[in-house]
Amino acid sequence: MRLDKFLSSAMGLGSRTDVKKFIKNGRVEVIGTDNPRPELSIDPEKSEVYFDGKLQKYKKFVYLMLNKPKGYVSATVDRDNPTVIDLVPENFLRFELFPVGRLDIDTEGLCILTNDGELSHKLLSPKNHISKKYRAKLDAVPKDDELEKIRNGIILEDGYKCKPAIVTFDVENEAFYITIYEGKYHQVKRMFGAIGRRVLELKRVEMNKLTLDDKLAPGEIRELTDEELKLLQV
């Protein structure tokens, strides 16, 4: 890859014209080269390139954790509503990120944004049965036998039989935690609806083995650590 393309497109330091000026003014250093030029060929993953004394680490893929707030749709574009991409910091926009899966516009919580199509496919593939854990507040507390229907695989209004789910009750917060292994449309709401209960609030708190950082306020976003990324792997 050309040095100017690396600094402009891959690292987002400015336009090609801007980058050429940086190089000319001596703000760019390439280890092993005394006089770097814009057309210099480098290896993005191996070459040591510095800008204003700071090492520029190449990233092919980016993985972000967002605590999605209500009012945003899990899409890259939408004609009527703001999207989760609107919450992405400007320095990450060049990676053309997309959300892994969907959360309803009124659902909060863990949303993964990435440009890694392979990982997204693995996490969303029905054959992998990836777990997704939600916290739900209901209009009333279901009876034990009603919850057992969900735990054993409840049948939805369209006749679809869900896989068995894990359901627990948080007495202190008066909320239910439900773990499902599918991703049907409005699934959690429909599962509780099948026992006559309405979901008032819904928040995804976990996907696979990755848990939402409770320090992230709604709308806040950060990169995953290497350890967290391992928890997402299928």
Q: Which residues are catalytic?
A: 104
Cross-strand bridge partners of residue 2: 41
CA dist., res. 42 & res. 124, Å (int): 36
**DSSP class of residue 230?**
H
For residue 148, CA distances in Å to 57, 195, 224 come to 51, 10, 36
- Closest listed residue to residue 30, CA positions, set 3, 57, 2: 3
Q: Contact 25/13 with Cβ under 8 angstroms? A: no
- Closest listed residue to residue 234, CA positions, set 163, 181, 177: 181
Q: Which residue has the tokens 């574009």?
A: 77
Cross-strand bridge partners of residue 191: none
| Secondary structure E strands in 108-207 | 108-114, 132-138, 166-170, 175-180, 199-207
Residue type, 42: I
